[in-house]
A and B are shown apart, each in its own frame.
Chain A
Amino acid sequence: MFKLRNQELIILIVTVVIFAGFSVFLDKFFSTGNLLTLMRSVSILGILSIAMAVVVISKGIDLSLIATLAVGTALASVLSSGDVLPSIDLPFIYAVILGFIFTAILCAMTGILVAYWDMASVFVTLAMAGVIYGLGRTLFIRDELNYLPEDAAWLEYLGRGQLFGVPMPIICFLMLAIIMHLLLTKTTFGKFVYSIGDSGLAARTAGVPVRPILVMIFILAGTVAYFAGLLTAGAISSINTRMVAGSMIYDVLLVVVVGGIGLSGGKGGMHNVILGTLLIGTLLNGMVIMDISFIVQNLIKGIILLLAIMTDTLLNPRDEQTTQQGDI
């Protein structure tokens, strides 16, 4: 089904080796309970990586994903809590829809700036992260920590429930990966995404509506991130907007790059995201079991990201064709 490129083969081997090593040397690592915990703890990261992957395949990057996730979800919970709209007793499900509209509009703005102003996505999304967070916090969200209202039980089921013994976030992650896989491989939209990633200029010459597609890509990524935010909130019945200032966006990049989606665009798919998520999940889980200190954990993650980017550069060298302004 998938043709593995060299890079993917390397990562697959690395994952299998680490996984086997942990299974042999770490007590209780290879147990159904721990493997489900492992997958569960990275499934939100995996969903965010799905969002990032789509953007990276189109040769962009979206650094505003965490801001979208946190502000959109916090907005939904604030709207239904009665703090912002005290006169209306807004059911949570409507608040979720309003949160979606808010994120969609802002993501469309990002897309328009990238597509129609020809600005580099790395700068646009870096700035938009600040705009999204600032707008949300000034206009609506007074507190950093926002609790879900009581009628959000369905979301709590999605965030912490189980189906046939499998935690719901894992199911959501896999379902979303399948849907995105079909979207990328079976639809015209998907083919356009890859062609834009390969070469925007060639795609435009061939008649691909590059600009509208780019806007759609950013809205799609933002929507997936918003869904990841809802799941996060469901898992702990609250959402903390402070996560915007955290390092999660780098973990997302780590999954995408380590998974083997080339930063030069046009390559990779959902199997890379799943592979990357599994590798990072295995590592994180193993490091917690070994009780490795936080600083050393960050060091290990940093080294792995560097190694992955080095491999990426070795296997997909830059040349005049693939380099463009704003390229990361």
Chain B
Amino acid sequence: MKFKALKLIIAVVAMLLPLNAQAEKMGIADPARDKYYSALEGKKVAFVPLAMGFDLTEGWYAGMKKALEPLGVEMILRDPNWSADAGSKAISSLISEKPDAIVVHNPDVQTYAKLLRKAEKAGIHVVQVNMKSAFPTDAFVGADWIEIGELVTQKVIDQCGAGTSQKIAIVQGVLTAAASAYQLRGVSNILEKNPNIKVVSNQAADWDSTKARAITETTLQQHPDLCGIVGFWDGMDIGTGAAVKEAGMHEKVFLATSGGGGKTGCDNLKNDIFDVFVSYDVPGQARDLSNVVKSLLQSGNKPGKAGKVSLFTQLQTLTKDNMASYMGSGACWTVESLASN
């Protein structure tokens, strides 16, 4: 009996030997490799942003295209151009077209919630980017807005301690937008802990740089001893910074804001328009998005059935002095650099 077993082992080893020799010559095949490629080949992934044409959405789309298209994934783009209504229609029509996954950028927490549930029921994986819906889907990839609000406010308050006027201003986006409302919660969290800080102006500039500029100009006139400004988005705070710089006060007034971390944001740091720029790293988000889509398509799970995951973006706090060290990790990107190989 023992002898028989030994014989079998010898036979198996003898059989494997040439194989092993062949592996040395040719390398070995990865048994999981084909599964990866076949799971992605011919799949369709749709992207429904708020609008194309601005750095965040252009960056995500370019990054996803670059990661997924070479694998045989077909990317479909539906651009609702800031209309939540057009976005709803786009998602409805996608549900009947049945792509394998939809990457969706919500205008607010409510509008798409029912549609996203319907899409998952119809067997489509749904990944949400940067703006959450009230209905959690397979995955969320994006910034933690509350953390951003806290981080930006803390940076301003650090500069406005005792010995300064301790007066700060807040320039919000659109009041109803989740990104603005969540950030405001983060701002309040920090302000509660710092009762000495006086908020002398708390105005919404509608994501509009011209409005931000006019509001800031008036605030600076009224409070020439202003210490810092909490901005909510770099595209809008170009106007905030321009007003500060024009008043000749960029040495005295500390402006912190946040954004996708693109080259124009970095240029504004370089030109003393911003003092701190918290980046939610669009190249990193694009990679997270592509990887989440890849893993969902390979998992074989039914959409909406497995656990829901959130991938909050690792934030980068950029300043004029440290931004060079972040460039290796994707800061100061351009859409061209994301699209090219």
Contact of A237 among B200, B203, B221, B242 (CB under 8 A): B242
B217 touches A41 (CB 8 A): yes
A235 touches B210 (CB 8 A): yes
A-B CB contacts (within 8 Å), total count: 85
Residues on A with C-beta less than 8 A from B172 are 294
Residues 24-50 of chain A, each 1 if its beta carbon lies under 8 Å from chain B, else 0: 000110010110011011001000000
Does B296 count as interface, using CB distance less than 8 angstroms?
no
Does B3 count as interface, using CB distance less than 8 angstroms?
no
Residues on A with C-beta less than 8 A from B213 are 41, 235-236
Residues 180-219 of chain B, each 1 if its beta carbon lies under 8 Å from chain A, else 0: 0000000000000000000011111011111001110111
A144 touches B239 (CB 8 A): no
Which of B51-59, B112-120, B299-307 lines the interface with chain A?
B51-59
B218 touches A41 (CB 8 A): yes
Residues on A with C-beta less than 8 A from B242 are 160, 235-237
Does B175 count as interface, using CB distance less than 8 angstroms?
yes
Contact of B208 among A33, A37, A44, A243 (CB under 8 A): A243
Give bound CA distance, A284 to B219, whole Å: 12
B201 touches A294 (CB 8 A): no
Residues on B with C-beta less than 8 A from A235 are 210, 213, 242
Which partner residue on chain A sits nearest B238 by CB separation? Answer: A236
Which of A97-105, A171-179, A192-200, A285-293 lines the interface with chain B?
A285-293
Give bound CA distance, A247 to B214, whole Å: 16
Give bound CA distance, A160 to B203, whole Å: 23
Residues on A with C-beta less than 8 A from B238 are 236-238
Residues on B with C-beta less than 8 A from A137 are 53
Does B235 count as interface, using CB distance less than 8 angstroms?
yes
Number of interface residues of B (CB under 8 A): 32
B203 touches A291 (CB 8 A): yes
Does A147 count as interface, using CB distance less than 8 angstroms?
yes
Contact of B82 among A37, A160, A242 (CB under 8 A): A242
Residues on A with C-beta less than 8 A from B206 are 246, 294
**Residue from A288, A289, A293 having most chain B Cβ neighbours under 10 A:** A288
Which partner residue on chain B sits nearest A38 by CB separation? Answer: B218
B221 touches A238 (CB 8 A): no
Interface size class of chain A, counting residues whose CB lies under 8 Å from the partner chain: 35 or more
Contact of B58 among A143, A240, A291 (CB under 8 A): A143
Does B222 count as interface, using CB distance less than 8 angstroms?
yes
Contact of A144 among B54, B222, B246 (CB under 8 A): B54
A240 touches B235 (CB 8 A): yes
Give bound CA distance, A147 to B246, whole Å: 18
B222 touches A294 (CB 8 A): no
Does A299 count as interface, using CB distance less than 8 angstroms?
no
Does A318 count as interface, using CB distance less than 8 angstroms?
no
Give bound CA distance, A192 to B290, whole Å: 63
B175 touches A295 (CB 8 A): yes
CB distance from B125 to the nearest CB of A (A): 29
Q: A41-B214, A144-B51 are in contact. Are A288 and B209 (CB under 8 A)?
A: no
Residues on B with C-beta less than 8 A from A34 are 218, 221-222
Give bound CA distance, A144 to B208, whole Å: 12
Residues on B with C-beta less than 8 A from A246 are 206, 208
Give bound CA distance, A38 to B215, whole Å: 10
Does A204 count as interface, using CB distance less than 8 angstroms?
no
B235 touches A145 (CB 8 A): yes
Residues on B with C-beta less than 8 A from A238 are 209, 238
A37 touches B53 (CB 8 A): no
From 265 to 319 in chain A, residues with beta carbon under 8 angstroms from any chain B beta carbon are 284-285, 288-289, 291, 293-295
Q: Which residues of B contact A (CB under 8 A)?
A: 51, 53-55, 58, 82, 172, 175, 200-204, 206-210, 213-215, 217-219, 221-222, 235, 238-239, 242, 246, 264
Query: What are 24 A-B interface contacts by the 8 Å CB criterion?
Result: A34-B218, A40-B217, A41-B218, A44-B210, A143-B54, A144-B51, A145-B54, A160-B242, A235-B213, A236-B213, A236-B238, A240-B208, A242-B51, A242-B54, A285-B218, A288-B201, A288-B214, A288-B215, A288-B219, A289-B222, A291-B201, A293-B175, A293-B204, A294-B175
Sorted nearest first, the 8 A-B pairs with minimum C-beta distance are A294-B204, A41-B214, A144-B53, A288-B218, A34-B221, A144-B54, A37-B217, A236-B242
Give me 12 other A-B pairs in contact (C-beta within 8 A), A143-B53, A289-B218 excluded: A33-B221, A34-B218, A34-B221, A37-B217, A144-B51, A144-B53, A145-B264, A236-B210, A237-B242, A246-B208, A294-B204, A295-B175
